[in-house]
Amino acid sequence: MNKRLLGIAEQALFATVVFVLILLAFADRLAVPVWLQPIGRMHPLFLHFPIVILLLTLVMEVFRFRPVRAGQTAETVSAYRQFLDALLLVGTLSAGLTVVMGLFLATEDDYSGTTLQWHKWSGVGVFLVAAFIYWARQKRWYNAPLARVGGLVGIVCLVGAGHYGATLTHGDNFLFEPLSRQAEPERVPLEQALVYDHLVQPIFEQKCVSCHNPGKLKGGLNLTHLAAVQKGGKSGKLYVSGRPDISLLLQRIHLPLEEKKHMPPIGKSQLTPQEAKLLALWIKGRAQTNGRVADLPATDSLRIIAAGFLAPSVSVESFDFDEPDEDMVRQLNTDYRTVARLANGSPALAVNLYNRANYAPDQLTDLSPVREQVVSLSLNKLPVKDADLKELSQFENLQKLDLNFTDITGKALEQLTPLKQLKTLALAGTSVRYEDLVAPLKAFKNLQTVALWNTRLTSAQIAQLQKSYGNVRFIAGFNGAAAEPIRLNPPQLKNASPIFTGSTQVDIRHPVRGVQIRYTTDGSEPDSLRSPILTAQTTISQPTQIKARAFKAGWYGSSTATFDYYRRTYKPDSLRLLLPFNPVHQANGPQSFFDGILGTFNANSPAWANNWLGFRKNEMALLSRFAKPVTISSVALRIMVEEETSIFPPGEVEIWGGPSPNELKRLATVKPRQPGGKEPHTLQTVTCSFGPQAVSWLKIVAHPLKQIPAWHPNKGNQALLLVDEIFIN
Amino acid sequence: MENEILEHGFNFNRRRFLSRLSLGLGSAALGSLLIPDLFGGSGTDDETLPVGVPHFAPKAKRVIYLFQNGAPSQQELFDYKPKLREMTGQELPPSVRGKQRLTGMTANQKEFPMVGSFVDFNQYGQSRAWVSDLFPYTAKIVDDLCIIKSMYTEAINHDPALTFLQTGSQQGNRPSMGSWLSYGLGNENKNLPNFTVLLSRGIGNGQGVYSKLWSNGFLDSIHQGVQFSKGEDPVLYLRDPDGMSREERRAMLDNLAQLNDLSYQSFGDPEIMAKVKQYEMAYRMQTAVPEVMDLSKESDDIIKLYGPDCLVPGTFAANCLLARKLSENGVRFVQLYHQGWDQHGNLPFEIAKQAKDVDQASAALVTDLKQRGLLDETLVIWGGEFGRTSYTQGKLTKDNYGRDHHPRCFTIWMAGGGIKPGMVYGETDDVGYNIIQNPVHVHDFQATVLHQLGLNHEKLIFKHLGRRYRLTDVSGNVVHDIIA
């Protein structure tokens, strides 16, 4: 071979290797210009060269180191090797070219998936192995085993690449398809799907036709096309239109699996429950042969099940109007009017108007430069009048119009009939009537949804509309009057604080309009008849527990709410705890006793512990001073009792009072009742009453329960005492 | 001689090297002609995709996310497991648990007795979906719902799991889903924040909800979630102080904007302009918010629909009603959190109360949106941060048990916004421990939500600290099966 030519060819081979590696490394970002695509498409033609040449060469390579046989001269051996050299170079180069072409072709959309990957990498493998052999065989270390291994690997890759390439071109399982013919059903979007062609027939194709085809005709039945399906088999017609229960097809499907006549026979792939259901619904719906799935009502069972079988709907919608003027769109956007593109690159616009006070009809007329492009318009809750609808009727491409709670009446709806594209019309909360709708609805051929909640239409009228327009979904919404009554929520305390001085109005209210609140003060349950009604004049002047319930016609009465009112006449001017408290519950120090903020349950959770002052090791000993002597007759402690967490009432409470800290005398001692186990958690008041006494200094001592009673798991331990407020009267 | 040979060898090699190099480079250059962005750096398309416009036509325009914080037990609500009920008291087979890591709360437990639901289930609607008796109202609307029983997550504790669901990362400091949507879609109503947050708390064991969950992360702070509180002022400090007129406020804002503009000119900090925008929005919110938050004009029908608690500020029902009002007024993302679903113990008692708190109002929200024709364009999501175990935490007694955290499967539902109605998606095994069909990872869920809003989750990118961030991090596949 010409030395020069050989050099060029070798250089070309090296360049091709680099080029291929680059293409492989960035394969996912490869963008082949249109004019190069024909090169890629020559791949299926060109690939035959490397297959033949390389196959030949590689086989020869395997036997390259065979010992020289009798009759062979050195020249013939050398010529053989040189010929092999040249052949390998040509084969490798053609393989390289094929790989490059293949990589170009792979960028076109039609190819993807694992087969492509296998093909690609085995093809690349052929090329690289061949290139490696070509390079290595000039080295001294290249020997017979290496030649054999290299040759065999190359051949395996070559066969693999060829096979997967054929699979790509001729389809999956091309080679063995005749042995196992089973077609994958194509997935059609719901909008385009036909009930028979795209739902029923594919089930037959997948599960039945391998036996029931013109070639096999088991039971004389052919299920490959509609006419044959309608004809039935030896045992008779397959189905009775409208009667799945007596149709042979379903009987066979539902026979027990081990039954001989069960179809598909045991061992074959069975119908899924969904498929069986689908066939039943198809027969029930009179086995229609050319109906569209999309024509079925949205709530139709067949349609709902069909959705699972069909491809997701095509969401890309193209519009045949021009792009709006970008500057105009920007200009039309104000604080109260949003004009936004439906999507990047879409000419369609969505317009939303807000703020009742700012609305004027010219906000719609302003839109006239873009009215061709507006496909969605929301005027929710704006004072839109009938007269404005005339303007709206010029938005010819409008698909969605929200007129909820506008001031329109039904009379003007006729004005909207030029809106041929309208799909969704929201009229909730307007004063449209049945008569206003019947005629204009005919004009909207594309209508899908009409919201009619809270209009003057009765549910019977809406049902009537639904009957006349099967394809439109009419939404009646929730009707409170027709719904079952439900229970009111309990009334709520609105007093700033349930702690009062002197007397207070009982400010208990309920958020629902027209509710009556009845109450009791004696601890009994209020009822809807005898208990007094709470009014603005209801006042109390003593600590009181009020139980209240709310009542309203059409509702069940509320559960009972209990409100404790506390009276506090005096507040000490200064106070001090003589012994430290339990560090877990420190609230806001002794000030918490008089801050008017009540604690609630769940005191062991840090978030709620804030208002409780706790005592366990030490007793609570509070010394307080009044600047002017006060006459008192009771001291009350608000405490929590929660046996489960060892929070108990104090074992004993002592009240001491006098003119100075050194002249205190005991005014009262109280031993509160202790819980007996399994009692609900409560917030209690421990009151110590005594004869009226003038004091300047007051000492309150409360001893936490020394020993928790024997029934408790923590028996014998010291209990925790929690106090949040103290009331001195 | 020796040297010459060596020299020759060197020269030869250098020449060879250079010629080969030029060849190689030439090939690489040829290749680069076909790979437009080979030397231009990758992922330049985030700069070219406009922000604030959907990438493709959206099915949904707004989201209301009813987050059930604390992780509601799927076994008692949606994932009906008759087999598990039969096997109550038996030890969970180790093969089912596999190498599942456990929380510190049950890791030391000696036995793992399985426990079935204490409450019965029934099938409802045309979809015949199973719903527990704890959810009578939700049961009535199953034909509007897509119940996904095969959600799973990576975190096993509340805060990371919650953060993961909201921001796509367990660690926090990333933008929340609402912020991403605000960034990706822009405002619909310029008088209200794009992303609002409403909190409520049930009686059950509560878990923390922190403002980091509605943080804008590294996005512009105009995308931050605005928390509406339950008091008299839903948005704190929004009202003008007494004696200040609207005109004065306007003049003050104009002057302030000029000052801010000056400092922006000298510093160039974009946060200054974000602040100016927020002042302006706050000014408009002064009239828009009271109008939206006013519940006094809601009809008796609506009160009956949501339940009377919807008039008690701070309840879940009230927040659902507000969510509808905000969404109806163009708020892109309304995030509710209802705390108290963490039933480690005392489950039967607590979950019944929790369910009662949310059942009627959640269903009412879907019905209410539907009757206004808004459900098609509003995506409602209901669910927690993970599921609960099939075995009991603590002692199993006749009428009481608890369940620990379980990231391997949990149930959520979605409604509206172009999601298939009347569908139950995914399946768990007989004891409700592992997913056996159609698993949906949190990132898949997030990708699907973005997809419904017209956003490609792989293209909604923000470059920060030298790398590009996504809500779905580096994974996530849109679940096409549940898209109508």
Q: What is the pLDDT of residues A196-211, one digit of tens each?
A: 888 888 888 888 887 7
Q: Which two structure tokens, joined as six digits, stand for A11? A: 């250089």
- Whether A190 maps to a domain, the answer reads no
Residues of B in contact with A454 (CB under 8 A): 299, 301, 371
For residues A96 and A224, membership in a common domain is answered with: no
Predicted pLDDT at B37: 61
For residues A246 and A384, membership in a common domain is answered with: no
Partner residue facing B312 (CB), from A36, A312, A489: A489
Chain B interface disruption, residue of A21, A107, A309, A335, most B CBs within 10 A: A335
Task: Write the CB contacts of B187 (distance below 8 Å, at least 6 apart in sequence).
Answer: A338, B194, B330, B332
Average pLDDT, stretch B325-350? 94
Three-state DSSP at A588 gives: strand
Q: Give chain B's length.
A: 484
Phi, psi of A655 (to 5 degrees): -115, 125
Average pLDDT, stretch A403-429? 90
Q: Using one digit for the tens of pLDDT, what is the confidence trace for A134-189?
A: 888 888 888 888 888 888 999 999 999 988 888 777 766 667 766 765 545 556 77
Residue B423, min C-alpha distance to chain A (Å): 9
Q: Which residue of chain A is at minimal alpha-carbon distance from B284?
A: A335
Least confident of A85-99, A185-199, B84-98: A185-199
Residue A484, min C-alpha distance to chain B (Å): 10
Partner residue facing B188 (CB), from A299, A352, A381: A352
> Of A344, A403, A351, A401, nearest to A373 (Cα)?
A351
* A274 in contact with B, Cβ within 8 Å: no
- Whether A654 maps to a domain, the answer reads yes
For residues A526 and A663, membership in a common domain is answered with: no
For residues A463 and A447, membership in a common domain is answered with: yes
A697 forms beta bridges with A625, A658
Spatial separation of the C-alpha atoms in residues B286 and B228, rounded to whole Å: 13
For residues A156 and A85, membership in a common domain is answered with: yes
Predicted pLDDT at B11: 62
For residues A464 and A496, membership in a common domain is answered with: no
Residue A295, min C-alpha distance to chain B (Å): 16
Domain residue limits at A701: 574-728
Residues of B in contact with A343 (CB under 8 A): 53-58, 454
Q: Is A236 left (phi over 0), alpha (psi -120 to 50) or beta?
A: left
* A459 in contact with B, Cβ within 8 Å: no
Residue A592 has pLDDT above 80, yes or no: yes
**Most confidently modeled range among A204-213, A576-585, B284-293, B312-321:** B312-321
Query: Given pLDDT bands bounded at 50, 70 and 90, which one contains residue A215?
Result: low
Q: Using one digit for the tens of pLDDT, what is the confidence trace for A470-511?
A: 889 999 988 888 888 899 999 998 888 899 988 899 999 998
Spatial separation of the C-alpha atoms in residues B104 and A645, rounded to whole Å: 23
Q: Kind and range of the H or E element at B210?
A: none
Chain A interface disruption, residue of B62, B230, B291, B301, most A CBs within 10 A: B301
Per-chain mean pLDDT for chain B? 89
Q: At which of A256, A279, A309 does a domain end?
A: A309
**Most confidently modeled range among A130-139, A562-571, A708-717, B410-419:** B410-419
Domain count, chain A: 5
User: Is the CB of A486 less than 8 angstroms away from the CB of B307?
Assistant: yes
Residue A397 has pLDDT above 50, yes or no: yes
Domain boundaries, chain B: 1-36, 55-236+289-482
Is the separation of the CB atoms in B149 and B424 below 8 Å? yes
For residues A600 and A723, membership in a common domain is answered with: yes
- Whether A721 maps to a domain, the answer reads yes
Average pLDDT, stretch B180-193? 92
Residues of A in contact with B61 (CB under 8 A): 350
> Of B309, B302, B419, nearest to B371 (Cα)?
B302
User: Is the CB of B371 less than 8 angstroms away from the CB of A478?
Assistant: yes
Q: At which of A532, A567, A602 does a domain end?
A: A567
User: Is the CB of B31 less than 8 angstroms away from the CB of A479?
Assistant: no
> Of A648, A606, A621, nearest to A726 (Cα)?
A621
User: Is the CB of A344 less than 8 angstroms away from the CB of B55?
Assistant: yes
- The better pLDDT of the pair B131, A606 is held by B131
Query: Given pLDDT bands bounded at 50, 70 and 90, which one contains residue B42?
Result: very low
Q: At which of A422, A443, A475 does a domain end?
A: A475
Q: Which two structure tokens, joined as six digits, stand for A275? A: 């498929």
Is the separation of the CB atoms in B330 and B62 below 8 Å? yes
Q: Which residue of chain A is at minimal alpha-carbon distance from B297?
A: A513
User: Is the CB of B189 less than 8 angstroms away from the CB of A33?
Assistant: no
- Whether A120 maps to a domain, the answer reads yes
Per-chain mean pLDDT for chain A? 86
Query: Given pLDDT bands bounded at 50, 70 and 90, which one contains residue B158?
Result: very high
Q: Distance of CA B239 to CAs A335, B221, B226, B285, Å?
A: 20, 22, 16, 10
Predicted pLDDT at A171: 64
Residue B372, min C-alpha distance to chain A (Å): 6
Q: Give chain A's length.
A: 729
User: Is the CB of A336 less than 8 angstroms away from the CB of B190?
Assistant: yes
Partner residue facing A483 (CB), from B38, B304, B483: B304
* A299 in contact with B, Cβ within 8 Å: yes
Predicted pLDDT at A186: 58
Average pLDDT, stretch A646-663? 89
For residues A600 and A704, membership in a common domain is answered with: yes
Q: Using one digit for the tens of pLDDT, what is the confidence trace for A354-396?
A: 988 889 999 999 999 998 999 999 999 999 999 888 888 899 9
Average pLDDT, stretch A64-73? 73
- Whether A321 maps to a domain, the answer reads no
Residue B427 has pLDDT above 90, yes or no: yes
Residue B187, min C-alpha distance to chain A (Å): 8
User: Is the CB of B304 less than 8 angstroms away from the CB of A14?
Assistant: no
Average pLDDT, stretch A233-237? 85
For residues A14 and A61, membership in a common domain is answered with: yes
Task: Write the CB contacts of A229 (distance below 8 Å, at least 6 apart in sequence).
Answer: A204, A222, A223, A238
Chain B interface disruption, residue of A26, A30, A330, A354, most B CBs within 10 A: A354
Q: Which residue of chain B is at minimal alpha-carbon distance from A339?
A: B188
Residue A488, min C-alpha distance to chain B (Å): 6
- Whether A60 maps to a domain, the answer reads yes
Chain B interface disruption, residue of A107, A378, A474, most B CBs within 10 A: A378
- Whether A233 maps to a domain, the answer reads yes
Predicted pLDDT at B248: 92
A473 forms beta bridges with A449
Q: Are strands A516-520 and A544-551 parallel, antiparallel or unpaired?
A: antiparallel
Query: Given pLDDT bands bounded at 50, 70 and 90, which one contains residue B203?
Result: confident
User: Is the CB of B56 less than 8 angstroms away from the CB of A355?
Assistant: no
Average pLDDT, stretch B127-153? 95
Partner residue facing A19 (CB), from B30, B300, B329: B30
Report the predicted TM-score, pTM, of the whole model to 2 decimal places: 0.72
- Whether A415 maps to a domain, the answer reads yes
Spatial separation of the C-alpha atoms in residues A628 and A695, rounded to whole Å: 9
Phi, psi of B163 (to 5 degrees): -65, -40
Predicted pLDDT at A173: 64
- The better pLDDT of the pair A284, B389 is held by B389
Residue B177, min C-alpha distance to chain A (Å): 20
Three-state DSSP at B471 gives: coil
Spatial separation of the C-alpha atoms in residues A1 and A80, rounded to whole Å: 13
Q: What is the DSSP letter of A200?
A: I
User: Is the CB of A342 less than 8 angstroms away from the CB of B58?
Assistant: yes
Say yes or no: domain B55-236+289-482 is CATH 3.40.720.
yes
Residue A87, min C-alpha distance to chain B (Å): 23
User: Is the CB of B422 less than 8 angstroms away from the CB of A304?
Assistant: yes
Q: What percentage of chain A has pLDDT greater than the value 90?
A: 26
User: Is the CB of B59 less than 8 angstroms away from the CB of A477?
Assistant: no
3-state helix, strand and coil shares in percent for chain A, rounded to the nearest 5? 35, 20, 45
Residues of B in contact with A480 (CB under 8 A): 299-305
Predicted pLDDT at A605: 62
User: Is the CB of B372 less than 8 angstroms away from the CB of A428?
Assistant: yes
| C-beta neighbour count of B68 within 10 angstroms | 26
Average pLDDT, stretch A293-308? 77
Query: Given pLDDT bands bounded at 50, 70 and 90, which one contains residue A112?
Result: low
Residue A608 has pLDDT above 70, yes or no: no
For residues A166 and A207, membership in a common domain is answered with: no
Q: Which residue of chain A is at minimal alpha-carbon distance from B290?
A: A355
Residue whose entry in the numeric block shows the structure tokens 């001689």: B1
For residues A375 and A524, membership in a common domain is answered with: no
Least confident of A488-492, A644-648, A696-700, B256-260: A644-648
User: Is the CB of B53 less than 8 angstroms away from the CB of A344?
Assistant: yes
Predicted pLDDT at B306: 95
User: Is the CB of A478 less than 8 angstroms away from the CB of B311?
Assistant: no
User: Is the CB of A11 less than 8 angstroms away from the CB of B368?
Assistant: no
For residues A586 and A560, membership in a common domain is answered with: no
Q: Using one digit for the tens of pLDDT, what is the confidence trace for B296-318?
A: 888 889 999 999 999 988 899 99
Predicted pLDDT at B388: 95
Predicted pLDDT at B46: 47
Residues of A in contact with B304 (CB under 8 A): 478, 480, 483, 486
Least confident of A74-78, A158-162, B157-161: A74-78
Chain B interface disruption, residue of A17, A18, A314, most B CBs within 10 A: A18
Interface of A with B in 341-400 (CB under 8 A): 341-344, 346, 348, 350, 352, 354-357, 380-381, 400
Least confident of A315-319, B54-58, B348-352: A315-319
Residues of B in contact with A37 (CB under 8 A): none
